[in-house]
């Protein structure tokens, strides 16, 4: 028999009922006195629990032959051997304890290294994702550089030389915030409710003025917070509409006698952005019934866009007027910074969800430029007005990669990640009718269009076939009305809706 601690033959064997192992009596007693534990399985153990194992006469004689009384009495060598054996046993006990401590240290070190590797992997993935986003943003900006400068570039050189520039350090901060906002937006995937057909719930929400217009926007510029729509007229009356709520107001009290509203868009559930035909712009608070902020840009130049993505530009919003001038408006310092953009006759404009890319267009063409790099020439998107007809609308899609351009007969989508004027999918044609309005749901899987055909308006739905890169009509989706003038897609946690401008009525179509 051999000792479980020292691995040596036993002189006085004892049995531990806890681990069911055999030990040298002196070693196990010493260990138990120090630790009160079984050395093998670490369970509590008392000396009284140890069971001494009886030996046969032959075993006893063999184990004690060198320790006989005669030898001890007559020779000194056995005494020395016994002393050496005791020292050896003590060393074996200490060695056993050190091995146990070493094993425990190895386990702790292994766990620490595993956690360290996991943390490094997370940090590496985050770094890679950040670099990827920066690269994509750089590609978007670089791709917005045409092979030849636009005609408006030369005409605007003098204007740029004389206009004050926006502080470069603030522009760089906005660009940095834009990259961070884009990264966070990727983590928050927006999932809209089912919208494959119109349910039985079609109701009239309110009556509108005959010349009402519609603009929609994400809450504070962030799609994760939802979407709102503003129905408004030139006199300043408006309705702020969400999936389930409606707020009304009028900004006429902040306008001059000869001034009219040229643009309105929601900021959030209680505030609305506005612009006028005489260059005035600001933020109107519905609950306070007043403009909490208002300035005038280029007088007698119509404001065509006011947009505020708070997580990117902070305390400032962006405006564009009909001459193509662009300004950043600081609501705290109460000032406008003219960004010295190229002159470009602008009928409509749209700010990308990253807060940097700006689209400006008219019926003949459109340009896109980065407001933090206006010293570079913009990209001009190719459009043949003779064969395709005048451009009726253009807008960035909420996925950040698409630019949608429409005429009365066509709907084209460009891919901003690729070379300029590269189509993202097959062009959608409407040969038997005129395209009146359109909108995309957030996942970019469904497209809604309103077609005017033989004096009647028909709302249709298309599903995107990603593998074939084309839109396929959803035949289950049907809605017809006498005069659909515009609509927008909104949603809440439970349902999706089309809020439509039909004649002089605001109609809500619930989808399922």
Burial 140-154 (b: 16+ CB within 10 A, else e): bbebbebeeebebbe
pLDDT at 158 exceeding the cut of 50: no
CA angle 352, 264, 225 (to 5 degrees): 55
Contact 321, 298 (CB under 8 A): yes
Give kind and range of the element (H or E) at residue 446: strand 446-453
In whole angstroms, give the CA distance from residue 338 to residue 330: 11
Local structure of 122: helix, strand or coil: helix
Does 161 have pLDDT greater than 60?
no
The answer to whether residue 118 sits within a structural domain is no
Chain-wide mean pLDDT for the chain?
85
* 277 shares a domain with 155: yes
pLDDT value of position 41: 87
Q: Domain check: are 47 and 186 in the same one?
A: no
Helix (H) or strand (E) holding 385: helix 385-388
* 122 falls within a domain: no
Residue-level pLDDT at 174: 84
Q: Does residue 135 fall inside a structural domain?
A: no
Residues 381 and 458 in one domain: yes
Say if CB 332 and CB 315 are below 8 A apart. yes
Range of weakest confidence among 59-73, 127-141, 219-233, 302-316: 59-73
| Half-sphere exposure in the Cβ direction for 1 (13 Å, CA) | 21
The answer to whether 334 touches 295, Cβ cutoff 8 Å, is: yes
CB environment 359-373: b (16+ within 10 A), e (fewer)? bbbbeebbbbbbbbe
pLDDT of residue 142: 62
Q: How many domains are contained in the chain?
A: 2
For residues 106 and 287, give the distance between their C-alpha atoms in angstroms, rounded to a whole number: 66
Cα dihedral angle (58, 61, 64, 67), rounded to 10 degrees?
-170
Instruction: Kindly tell me if the per-residue pLDDT of 410 is higher than 90.
Output: yes
Q: 362 versus 160: which is more confidently predicted? A: 362
Of 86, 110, 134, at which residue does a domain stop? 110
SS3 45: coil
Residues 428-462 have pLDDT tens digits of 999 889 999 999 999 889 999 999 988 889 999 99
Res. 141 pLDDT band, cuts 50 70 90: low
Q: Hey, CA dihedral for 224, 226, 227, 228, is it positive or negative?
A: negative
Instruction: Give the pLDDT band (50/70/90) at residue 154.
Output: very low
At 434 the pLDDT is 93
pLDDT of residue 149: 39
**Pair 63, 195 in one domain:** no
**443: domain CATH number?**
2.130.10.10
What is the DSSP track for 325-358?
A: -EEEEETTTTEEEE--PPP---SEEEE-TTSSEE
One domain for residues 302 and 237: yes
For residue 473, the cross-strand partners are 462
- DSSP reduced 3-state for 317: strand
Q: Are 367 and 494 within one domain?
A: yes
Instruction: Report, as an integer, the average pLDDT of 421-432.
Output: 92
pLDDT of 133 reads 79
Do both 148 and 101 map to the same domain? no
Is the pLDDT at 145 greater than 60, yes or no? Answer: no
Question: According to the model, what pLDDT value does residue 425 have?
Answer: 94
- Beta-bridged to residue 22, according to DSSP, are 15
The pLDDT confidence band at residue 6, using thresholds 50, 70 and 90, is: confident
Report how far residue 416's alpha carbon sits from residue 453's, in angstroms, rounded to the nearest whole number.
32
Residue 180 scores a pLDDT above 70: yes
Domain CATH code at residue 33: 3.30.40.10
Virtual torsion, Cα 346, 350, 354, 358, nearest 10 deg? -10
Q: What percent of the chain has a predicted confidence (pLDDT) above 90? A: 39
Does the residue 466 lie in any domain? yes
Q: How far apart are the first and last CA of the chain?
A: 80
- Indicate whether 103 and 200 sit together in one domain: no
With bands split at pLDDT 50, 70 and 90, how would you rate the model's confidence at 58?
low
d(CA 379, CA 385) in angstroms, rounded, equals: 18
Give the position of tokens 């079984």: 38
The confidence band for 166, taking pLDDT boundaries of 50, 70 and 90, is: low
pLDDT for 144: 55
Q: What is the pLDDT of residue 66?
A: 45
Of the pLDDT bands very low, low, confident and very high (cuts 50, 70, 90), residue 185 is confident
Q: Which of 88, 110, 132 is the last residue in one of the domains?
A: 110
Judged by DSSP in three states, 143 sits in helix
The least confident of 47-61, 104-118, 401-415 is 47-61
DSSP string, 145-211: --SS--HHHHHHHHHHHHSPPPPHHHHHHHHHHHHHHHHHHHHS---PPP-SSEEEEEEEEEE--TT
Half-sphere exposure of 399 (CA within 13 A, CB side): 18
Most confidently predicted of 324-328, 333-337, 403-407, 430-434:
403-407
DSSP assignment string, 378-444? PEEE---HHHH----EEEE-TTSSEEEEE-SSEEEEEETTSSTT-BSSPPEE-TTSEEEEEEE-TTS
Residue 450 domain-assigned (yes or no): yes
Say how far apart CA 218 and CA 119 lie, in whole Å: 35
Instruction: Give the torsion sign (CA, 165, 168, 169, 174).
Output: positive
pLDDT tops 50 at residue 415:
yes
What is the pLDDT, as a whole number, of residue 395? 95
Report yes or no on 136 lying in a domain: no
Q: Has residue 493 got a pLDDT over 90?
A: no
Alpha-carbon torsion angle 500, 270, 302, 352, nearest 10: -80
Which of 110, 135, 169 lies at the terminal end of a domain, its last residue? 110
What residues make up the domain containing 224?
A: 144-511
Q: Is the pLDDT at 150 greater than 70, yes or no? A: no
Which residues lie across from 1 on neighbouring strands? none
Asked whether residue 225 falls in the same domain as residue 332, the answer is yes
User: What CA dihedral angle connects 198, 201, 202 and 205, to 10 degrees?
Assistant: -130
Residues 41, 156, single domain; the answer is no
In DSSP terms, 21 is beta-bridged to 16
Q: What is the Cα–Cα distance from 421 to 414, expressed in whole angstroms?
A: 6
Task: Give the residue with greater pLDDT, 390 vs 372.
Answer: 390
User: According to the model, what pLDDT value does residue 227 have?
Assistant: 93
Average pLDDT of the segment spanning 124-135: 82
pLDDT band at 187 (very low <50, low <70, confident <90, very high): confident
The mean pLDDT of 396-403, rounded to a whole number, is 92
**Do 407 and 453 share a domain, yes or no?**
yes
Beta partners for residue 15, in sequence order: 22, 51
Question: pLDDT value at position 504?
Answer: 87
Q: Within this chain, do residues 359 and 212 fall inside the same structural domain, yes or no?
A: yes
What is the reported pLDDT for 487?
A: 94
pLDDT at 143: 61
Q: Which helix (H) or strand (E) holds 505?
A: strand 505-511
pTM of the model: 0.68
Residue 415 inside a domain? The answer is yes
Residue 389 is assigned to a structural domain of this protein? yes
Report yes or no: 52 and 14 within 8 Å, Cβ to Cβ: yes
């Amino acid at each position: 028999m051999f000792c479980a601690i020292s691995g040596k033959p036993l002189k006085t064997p004892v049995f531990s009922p806890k681990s069911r192992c055999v030990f040298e009596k002196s070693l196990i007693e010493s260990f138990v006195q120090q630790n009160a534990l079984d050395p093998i399985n670490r369970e509590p153990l008392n000396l009284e629990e140890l069971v001494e194992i009886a030996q046969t006469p032959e075993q006893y004689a063999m184990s004690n032959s060198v320790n006989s009384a005669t030898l001890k009495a007559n020779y000194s060598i056995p005494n020395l051997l016994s002393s050496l054996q005791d020292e050896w046993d003590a060393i074996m006990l200490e060695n056993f304890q050190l091995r146990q401590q070493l094993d425990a240290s190895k386990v702790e070190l292994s766990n620490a290294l595993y956690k360290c590797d996991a943390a490094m992997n997370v940090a590496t993935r985050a770094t890679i994702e950040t670099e990827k986003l920066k690269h994509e943003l750089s590609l978007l900006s670089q791709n917005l550089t045409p092979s030849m400068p636009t005609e408006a570039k030369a005409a605007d050189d003098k204007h740029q030389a004389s206009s004050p520039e926006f502080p470069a350090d603030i522009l760089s901060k906005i660009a940095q915030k834009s990259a961070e906002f884009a990264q966070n937006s990727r983590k928050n995937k927006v999932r809209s409710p089912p919208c494959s057909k119109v349910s039985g719930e079609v109701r009239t929400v309110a009556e509108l003025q005959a010349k009402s217009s519609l603009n929609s926007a994400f809450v504070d510029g962030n799609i994760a917070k939802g979407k709102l729509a503003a129905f408004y007229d030139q006199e300043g009356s408006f309705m702020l509409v969400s999936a389930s709520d409606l707020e009304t107001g009028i900004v006429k009290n902040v306008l001059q006698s000869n001034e009219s509203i040229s643009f309105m868009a929601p900021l959030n559930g209680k505030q609305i952005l506005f612009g006028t035909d005489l260059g005035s712009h600001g933020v109107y608070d519905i609950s306070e019934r007043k403009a909490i902020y208002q300035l005038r840009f280029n007088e007698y130049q119509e404001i065509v866009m006011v947009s505020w993505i708070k997580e990117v530009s902070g305390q400032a919003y962006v405006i564009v007027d009909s001459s193509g001038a662009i300004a950043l408006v600081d609501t705290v310092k109460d000032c406008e910074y003219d960004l010295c953009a190229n002159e470009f006759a602008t009928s409509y404009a749209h700010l990308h969800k990253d807060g940097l890319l700006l689209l400006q267009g008219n019926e003949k063409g459109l340009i896109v430029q980065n407001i933090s790099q206006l010293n570079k020439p913009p990209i001009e998107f190719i459009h043949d007005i003779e064969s395709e007809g005048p451009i009726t609308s253009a807008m960035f899609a909420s996925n950040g990669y698409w630019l949608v351009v429409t005429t009365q007969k066509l709907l084209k989508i460009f891919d901003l990640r690729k070379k300029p004027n590269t189509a993202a999918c097959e062009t959608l044609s409407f040969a038997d009718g005129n395209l009146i309005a359109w909108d995309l749901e957030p996942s970019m899987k469904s497209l809604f269009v309103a077609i005017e055909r033989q004096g009647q308006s028909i709302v249709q739905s298309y599903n995107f076939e990603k593998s074939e890169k084309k839109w396929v009509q959803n035949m289950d989706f049907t809605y017809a009305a006498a005069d659909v003038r515009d609509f927008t897609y909104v949603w809440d946690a439970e349902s999706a809706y089309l809020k439509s401008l039909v004649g002089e009525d605001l109609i809500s179509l619930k989808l399922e």
